[in-house]
Structure 1
Amino acid sequence: MNNFEHNRESWNELTALHTESSFYNVEAFKAGETSLNHIELEELGDVKGKRMLHLQCHFGMDTLSWAREGAEVVGLDISDASIQKATELSEELNIPATFVRSNVYDIEKVLDETFDIVYTSYGAINWLNDLDKWAKIINRYLKPGGVFYIVEFHPFIYTLNDDSEITDSYFKSAPMETIVEKSYTDKSEISNKNLKHIEWHHSLSEVLNSLISNGMRIEFMNEFPYQVYNCFPNLTELSEGRWVSEKHGTKIPHMYSIKAKKLSGSK
């Protein structure tokens, strides 16, 4: 079994836990609350009438939240269970959307169109091993002048151990393999003890250079001294929706965002 198949199996199992967790709060979403955060809403801006491709959409809440904002959306994810749940939510809530199951790197086998916006967020690119290929795919699916937007956990966070000490290299390159024992949402235990995750660490320079070298112009890159989710060890809530390291507070970066535009004539 290859690395991506291991991840697909584990995310199939995690999806069932996530849809029932207070972390995702599906019932509030069904009642009309957005699952989007202030950062992406403010930085991406008005999406009314725009065609959006959401890479690694999980079970579709953010994708459908963008649809509520007026975008025409297509969500893609490697997990069968996630795509099934996303489709069910779309139909139940009567929010038009298309969901496609595929590994990001196999997307051209299942999707042949272009978009105004390609979007990805929060714990996505650590599941990808080749950012040059990723950026080529982003370019291929953007219309000329189209926008790519990412908001992600800062790679510095992954240098810290559970005691908030720097123990790992910022410049990791080898894949990291872990046994999946609990969900990050509410620490629910996984019933299948044979599941594992394979992840890859990507520095900010790797992310930026992959986009620049594949026909994208960086509009901005921002860094944030807080997390919007309580999903890392030893965080404390600074204010509503802003979580920081108990040990380091706002002295360290917790997240970053990038907005880039496809250059005319780039392929």
Structure 2
Amino acid sequence: MTNDNDRSATADHWRQANHALWEERVPIHTGSDFYDLAGFREGRDDLRGFELDEVGDVTGKRLLHLQCHIGTDTLSWARRGAVVTGLDFSAAAVAAARELAADVGQADARFVESDVYDAPSALGGETFDIVYTGFGALCWLPDLAGWARTVAGLLAPGGFLYLAEFHPVGMCLNDDGTAWAEDYFARGPLTYDEPGTYADLDAPTRHNRSVEWQHTIGDVVSAVTAAGLRPEFLREYDFSLFEQVKGMVKERDTSGTRPGSATVYRLPEGRPALPLIYSLRASRA
């Protein structure tokens, strides 16, 4: 990993690198055990229990999922009654999501190919009751203030943003979780050159360069409030969705009052608990 302090990762360069990386990884993800699309087609719900509680009843609500990837979370909301639109900049991801929607009987689910910042024009000025952004999304966005303004413009009056993300504190840990490995305030651009993918570490890949940004909790809350949204809560959780550091204990998700079938990972007993996930809900007047 390098920190491109010389700003050599121009807008075109970072977007091209990240787009090539995700286009290549979509077919790996759709065929992976990590995503287990066969299990999803059979009815598995990919939402976490705390998300269901914090978002609430979505029946009949218009829900937009930004950076939806292959659509498993999007379609999980659809199965719970939401009228869903998923948006992603990867044509391969959008195609996979549309195919999956047809397979699970959610033909009304809509998937749109677009960069996040271009979402208002791509969606024709449409607004939504809920804008949802899920795990591992914000690190791909260089302009958090612009993202928040985009979200605010996509919300109907009385609507809300719901964000569930990996906590930046957890992302700074060493592999063994015993020390800091990254600077919490090193916002980026951070350039990586790593083969494989989180869904299959050994998968052969050609497009391995990615450019990412780290956003502190303060950055997120400040961007949301500056965009005119009113934070309702910010919550932190001591588990992750993958083995973020070595030695984590695999458990069934028991968060919330309606725990799902998801698997979570915690630091073993006797180790200090740390925030690994956070959620934020903010409403538009």
User: What TM-score comes out, normalization by structure 2 length?
Assistant: 0.87
The one of 167, 171, 178 equivalent to 2:192 is 178
1:191-206 pair list within 5 angstroms: 191-192=205-206, 194-206=207-219
What residue identity is the alignment partner of 2:140? W
Aligned to 2:235: 222
Alpha-carbon distance change, 26 to 182 in structure 1, aligned in 2, over 3 angstroms: same
Report 1 or 2 for greater relative contact order, CA contacts < 8 Å, sequence distance ≥ 6: 2
For residues 70-120 of structure 1, the C-alpha deviation after alignment (integer angstroms, 9 at most, x for no partner) is 000110011111001001111222202110111101223311200000001
Say whether 1:26 aligns with 2:37: yes
C-alpha distance after superposition, 1:185-205 (max 9, x if no partner): 23132331x431111000000
Give me the whole-angstrom Cα distance separating, in 1, the residues matched to 2:142 and 2:270.
30
**Corresponding residue for 1:128?**
141
**Residue 187 of structure 1, aligned match among 201, 204, 207:** 201
Once the two structures are TM-superposed, the CA of residue 168 in structure 1 deviates from its matched residue by 1.5
1:254 equivalent in structure 2: 276
The one-letter code of the counterpart of 1:131 is L
C-alpha RMSD of the superposition: 1.6
2:167 corresponds to: 154
Structure 1 residues 177 and 248, CA, compared in 2 at 3 Å: closer, same or farther? farther
**Aligned-pair CA distance for 1:248:** 7.7
Give the 3 Å change call, closer, same or farther, for CA 49–66 of structure 1 in structure 2. Answer: same
Report the AA paired with residue 191 of structure 2: E
Q: State how far apart, in whole Å, the 1-side matches of 2:133 and 2:239 are.
A: 19
Tell whether the 8 Å contact from 2:129 to 2:159 is kept in structure 1 after alignment: yes
Q: Note the C-alpha offset of 1:210.
A: 0.4
> What is the CA distance between 1:66 and its match in structure 2?
0.5
Shift in alpha-carbon separation, 1:235–1:105, aligned structure 2, 3 A: farther
Secondary structure in 1 matching 2:64: strand
CA distance in 2, matches of 1:18, 1:137: 28
Give the SS at the match of 1:24: coil
Residues 23 and 186, structure 1, Cα contact 8 Å, conserved in 2: yes
Please show how residues 59-138 of structure 1 align to structure 2 within 5 Å: 59-95=70-106, 96-112=108-124, 113-138=126-151
Taking the aligned partners of 1:85 and 1:203, their CA distance within structure 2 comes to 32
Task: Please say if 1:144 is aligned against 2:166.
Answer: no
Give the SS at the match of 2:185: coil
245-254 or 165-174: which moved more? 245-254
Change in Cα spacing, 1:248 to 1:162, as seen in structure 2 (3 Å) is: farther
Q: 1:101 to 1:235 in 2, by over 3 A?
A: farther
On the 8 A contact 2:26/2:93 being kept in 1, the answer is yes
Greater than 6 Å deviation, 4+ residue runs:
none
Q: Secondary structure at the match of 2:132?
A: strand
Please give the alpha-carbon distance, in whole angstroms, between the structure 2 residues aligned to 1:108 and 1:231.
Answer: 36
Native 8 Å contact 1:120 1:151 kept in 2 = yes
After superposing the two structures, state which structure 1 stretch, 58-67 or 157-166, moved more.
157-166
Please identify, of 157-166 and 254-263, the stretch whose mean Cα deviation from structure 2 is larger: 157-166
Gaps of 5+ in 1: none
Shift of 1:251: 1.7
Superposition deviation, residue 147 in structure 1: 0.9
The question of whether the paired residues in 1 share the 8 Å contact of 2:120 and 2:153 is answered with: no
Q: Tell whether the 8 Å contact from 2:62 to 2:129 is kept in structure 1 after alignment.
A: yes
1:237 matched residue in structure 2:
249
Deviations 1:196-250 (A, max 9, x none): 11110000000001001111111111000111x2252315225323312359845
* 238 and 60 in structure 1: CA distance in 2 versus 1, 3 angstrom threshold: closer
Aligned residues: 261
Distance 1:119 1:169, change over 3 A: same
SS of the residue aligned with 2:119? helix
Is the 1:160–1:168 contact (alpha carbons within 8 Å) kept by the matching residues of 2? yes
Worse-matched range after superposition: 87-96 or 240-249: 240-249
Q: Deviations over 1:161-195 (max 9, x none)?
A: 22322022111122111113011123132331x43
